[in-house]
């Protein structure tokens, strides 16, 4: 399995506050992804990166931004958190044709 | 519209009772069909990739098959430790992004 860690693992925040989630990988994979997972939905892509400083939007990118200053780190920022962003967030990296996932961050926005 | 649909949403089996999970897809230009297992509170764990109709792959009690419209995950003589949510995803050959199904929750009772 790819070495992928996410921090924090759990977070409770208030509406309107900024939140940053971190994904760290030790596999030197070029591609990295941020997904959200909600009941009744499949995993939905928020943003992805195809290299340092190279990022692009996914299907549910509104309200989110990302940054990748190093190969190993991919940050997801909620500029002003809303209750609709309460979710479980997964980071993934891609090696070969396969995506490998981190353990997830459970975010509650009150 | 590209879409991946999994059925049933949930499946309860007795230990040893074999069955199949379905993943139907309508994707223009399929590059590959992926199966993952997800345990509660964890990230998805990669199981199989299928690339062409007629292809089969096996791992322990699991066998995945692929046709031009759907994929099946066959579970033979399941054990309680096979209980999990099984996710499938289709990768397009145009942009290499994954389109996810909502998953099948499998419960194996001893």
Residue of A nearest to B86 (CA): A42
**Which of the residues in chain A have pLDDT under 50?**
none
Task: Tell me the per-residue pLDDT of B71-96, one tens digit each, with 9 for 90 and over.
Answer: 999 999 999 999 999 999 999 988 77
Residue of A41, A42, A49 for testing the chain B interface, max B β-carbons within 10 Å? A42
Q: Does B42 score more than 90 pLDDT?
A: yes
Subunit contact B98:A104, Cβ cutoff 8 A: no
The Cα B21–Cα B9 span in angstroms is 9
Q: What percent of chain A shows pLDDT beyond 70?
A: 98
Subunit contact A43:B44, Cβ cutoff 8 A: yes
Q: What percent of chain B shows pLDDT beyond 70?
A: 100
How much is the mean pLDDT over chain B? 96
Q: Within an 8 Å CB–CB cutoff, is residue B92 touching chain A?
A: no
Question: Which residues in chain A touch residue B42, judged by CB atoms under 8 angstroms apart?
Answer: 103-104
CATH, residue A69: 2.60.40.10
**Residue-number span of the structural domain to which A97 is assigned:** 4-109
Domain B3-93 top-level CATH class = mainly beta
Is-contact A89 A10, C-beta < 8 A? no
User: Count of domains in chain A?
Assistant: 1
Q: Does B101 score more than 80 pLDDT?
A: yes
């Amino acid at each position: 399995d790819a070495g992928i860690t996410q921090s924090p693992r759990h977070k409770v925040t208030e509406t309107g506050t900024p939140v940053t989630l971190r994904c760290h990988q030790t596999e030197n994979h070029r591609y990295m992804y941020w997904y959200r997972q909600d009941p009744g939905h499949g995993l939905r892509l928020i943003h992805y990166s195809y290299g340092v400083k190279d990022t692009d939007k996914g299907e549910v990118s509104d309200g989110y931004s990302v940054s990748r200053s190093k190969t190993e780190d991919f940050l997801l920022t909620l500029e002003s958190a809303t209750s609709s962003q309460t979710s479980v967030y997964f980071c993934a990296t891609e090696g070969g044709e396969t995506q490998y996932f981190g353990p997830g961050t459970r975010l509650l926005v009150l | 519209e590209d879409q991946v649909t999994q059925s049933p949403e949930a499946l309860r089996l007795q230990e040893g009772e074999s069955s199949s999970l379905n993943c139907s897809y309508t994707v223009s230009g399929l590059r590959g069909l992926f199966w993952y297992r997800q345990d509660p509170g964890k990230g998805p764990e990669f199981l199989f990739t299928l690339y062409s109709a007629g292809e089969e792959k096996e791992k322990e009690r699991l066998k995945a098959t692929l046709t031009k419209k759907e994929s099946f995950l066959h579970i033979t003589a399941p054990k309680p430790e096979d209980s999990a949510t099984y996710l499938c995803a289709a990768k397009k050959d145009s942009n290499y992004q994954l389109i996810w199904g909502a998953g099948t929750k499998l419960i194996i009772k001893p």
